[in-house]
Amino acid sequence: MSDAALVTEHKVPPVTERKLPPVTELAITTIALTVVGGIYMASHLPKHFSLAFPIADVAVCGALVAANLVMLARVKPFAWRTFFLVGKWALAAYAVISGMLVYTFARDHTPAGPMTVLALMLVIWAVDIPLLLAFTVARYATP
């Protein structure tokens, strides 16, 4: 059966006409904020510095990722099979990358406070980028 027949049969609007939440925009904002926070922290290490900005940054990024996940979960219809297929492999790759970065900071004897904030930033980063990749692919797939 053709894609057009599936769209007509299930009353799904064409991909270009579907109204989707701003997942891409929020994900890019989260990536930018984690990069800013990471650069800020890396530029101040190994000295002692205030963690107020990095903690606020992590809180905002965490809220953005949570909002993104909630908005995306409410989308119907959506190509969830494609989303999870892309997402699981991207998540595996970014988990390894984030793990290597945490290991690098640990080997560099990063103090516990900054290390915790950096690890949280990397967890957010490792969830956000696969979310963005999976959404970008699934949004153009037929539900």
Whether this prediction's pTM lies above 0.85 is answered by: no
pLDDT value for 46: 82
Query: What's the DSSP call for residue 113?
Result: H
Residues 6+ apart with CB under 8 A from 121: 34, 37, 38, 41, 54, 57, 58, 61
Regions of the chain short of the pLDDT cut 50? none
Helices 23-44/112-138 angle, 10° precision: 160
- Amino acid letter for position 60: V
Give tens-digit pLDDT for 8-43: 555 655 655 678 899 999 999 999 999 999 899 989
